[in-house]
Amino acid sequence: MKVLNLYFSSTGNTEKVARKIDATVQELGYPVDTIKIGSKELSLNILDYDFVFVGSGVYGQLPGKTLMDLHRGLIQSYVKAGEIKPTSPRRPSSHVVAYCTYGGVHTGINEAIPAVKFMGQLFDHLGFTIIGEWYVVGEYKTEKLRSHSVGGRLGDIRGRPNQADLEEVAEKVKGVLSSVE
């Protein structure tokens, strides 16, 4: 099984999760390509992979703009290539987990759900089976928002994702990969 671990992180929270995913996939003995999405053009064929983890922080209820731009560009290119078809027929051996890190200062996890749903749509259109939507709490890192790490709906989230959060991610990775073997 060939695994892609694709993520965007501006504060380091999502990068922590992506690194834990990478380490766990490698520990299980699968080849994994871990790619941090940056501002430069990325040439990528998602259809080369059997399993994809895709993640981002949440910014105004959506993933990072860089990831959204990549997804929109890939959808356009896959439409042109004829890979996105009406009714999105399933590709039986293709699976995805979409995840995010979020602070949820105002409405908790509800702020994060649209971001994960957005990330899953590219893969759903391509016929991947979405087998997980993961929400990992992450502290606010910027000076402007740092106070939200203690004053929001989720309480004190300083230091998160913490070791317990990352161990939970590792267990989820083990579970989803064993379910598709």
Portion of the chain with pLDDT greater than 70, in percent: 98
pLDDT band at residue 38 using 50, 70 and 90 as cut-offs: confident
Dump pLDDT digits (tens) for 96-126: 999 999 999 999 999 999 999 999 999 999 9
What number of other Cβ atoms are within 10 A of residue 103's Cβ? Answer: 25
- Coil, strand or helix at 62: strand
For the stretch 121-157, pLDDT in tens is 999 999 999 999 999 999 999 999 999 999 899 999 9
Query: Tell me, what's the pLDDT at 181?
Result: 83
Residue 12 predicted with pLDDT over 70: yes
Residue 160: per-residue pLDDT? 98
Number of domains, the chain: 1
Q: For residues 58, 62, 65 and 67, what is the CA-based torsion angle, rounded to 10 degrees?
A: 80
Q: Does the pLDDT value for residue 39 go beyond 70? A: no
Whether 141 and 106 have beta carbons less than 8 Å apart is answered as no
DSSP string, 1-53: --EEEEEE-SSSHHHHHHHHHHHHHHHTT--EEEEE--SS-----GGG-SEEE
pTM given for the model: 0.96
Phi, psi of 15 (to 5 degrees): -65, -40
Q: Return the closest-CA partner of residue 83 out of 129, 126, 26, 137.
A: 126
DSSP 83-101: -S-TT----TT-EEEEEEE
Alpha carbon distance 63, 58 (integer Å): 5
Q: How far apart are CA 29 and CA 95, in angstroms?
A: 18
Q: Say whether pLDDT at 41 is over 80.
A: no
Domain encompassing residue 127: 3-180
CATH of the domain at 98: 3.40.50.360
Q: What number of other Cβ atoms are within 10 A of residue 80's Cβ?
A: 9
End-to-end CA distance of the chain: 8
Four-CA torsion 33, 179, 114, 64, nearest 10 degrees: -10
With 0-12 CB in 10 A as exposed, 13-18 as middle and 19+ as buried, what is 43? Answer: exposed
Q: Write down the pLDDT at residue 93.
A: 95
